[in-house]
Structure 1
Amino acid sequence: MTDNALPTSLDQARERLNNALKMAERPLNSATLLAVSKTKPAAMIRQAWQHGQREFGENYLQEALEKQAELADLEAIVWHFIGPLQSNKTRAVAENFAWVHSVDRLKIAKRLSEQRPKHLPPLNICLQVNISREDSKSGVMPDEVMSLASEVATLPHIKLRGLMAIPAPAKSLEEQRVPLAALRQLLKDLQAALPNAPLDTLSMGMSDDLEAAVLEGATLVRLGTAIFGARSTQRIAQ
């Protein structure tokens, strides 16, 4: 990707999100673009930041930590951990990220709670839901979300903000909306059951289903290739 290409693609991604919000008759500030920067060099993240992007999603911990160190001079940058999270990586995530989208076990939530430095704001948490019930996907099953959320919401130093999902691929807009609508309903059920929790986040929607996700209430949409170009097949060992 050339130096001029990234600002252009970032503008196009923002325009696509804004068009989807208009189609859904939602305010333009009601959903945030999360730039998925995994496998991309720190220089590209810096360029996106210079073009006004502030929220970045990373999947691979060691790679993310190295980029964070290189970009420590950037103000107001917000790091989201969106990849699978193992117990032996929770401390580094708790210490270096503002958001975690991939919590699907109480054990992981407890470790993040215990390991979040006290001088930092509470760590924002989304529960990852296996909304399409796929054997190949991580996430808590839909019928177990209420029980897990009820326990996570009581933990100190973390803040349960909502739900995340990566539905199975679907061909049409109508088919895409079905699992996303189910996730939206799950969040509504949680809001009713846990009125004191700040449950305001639906992390859903990627390049193939952004419009469907926005129609179903997505508040964080995750775009990677559309902003940064094709991902490298090589990355730093984890």
Structure 2
Amino acid sequence: MKNNERIIYGIIITIVVFVIATFAGSKLHLNIDFFPYSFVTHSLMLILSIVLIYGLRKYVNYKIALPQFIKTLKPILFGLLATIIVNISMTVITKTLGGKVEAHAALTKMSPLQIFVFVFIYASIAEEILFRGFLMNILKPLKAKGINIFNRNISVPVLISAVAFGLGHLILITTGAGGLFLLRIVVFTTTLGLIAGYYQEKYENNAFAIIVHMAGNSMGVLGALLMNLNA
């Protein structure tokens, strides 16, 4: 498969999986209160991603393994720092422009336990296996090309998977979210995607991307706990 074909097929397939999973999640609901609407979305996303990785294993060199704890400290730290810095910066920009600082819809609809299980853990795994596990790995032959950010080489696969991941969160427009909130989420998730992709590529291990994602989502768990205490 040629490199331009990898880009086209990789992006198209990722979009199709994302759209199918999102559409199914909006239409299919489990009659169990503990399971949020996103459970179906992420379950289908996870299943389809695994099927793709296995079915296209000739083109997708997927690797995942439990990393050494010491090697996870920097990814976790940078995931947390990106979350704090981007969200504080975007909040300041939003207030400066006279906009309303909105909270993620999940924080108002789910309990802290639900956010821990279905956002911190489940969403992190499902989304990373699609965007970094499948998309970034199918683009792996392009990693020789890229750009330097803060003296770190960010390859084309890392860039494409991060931008795709960020833009995918525009789906939150269906929740009635405002423009500045969507901008904040896209900037944040794209930044988190860059860090996740960088560490996955560095160690050739999808587990690092999942760990960075979890670090980013940990602020959501903290936010839910604080909102619950103030309720």
TM-score range normalised by the length of the shorter chain:
under 0.3
Q: With a CA cutoff of 8 Å and minimum separation of 6, indicate the structure with the bigger relative contact order.
A: 2
TM-score, normalised to structure 2, is 0.25
TM-score, normalised to structure 1, is 0.25
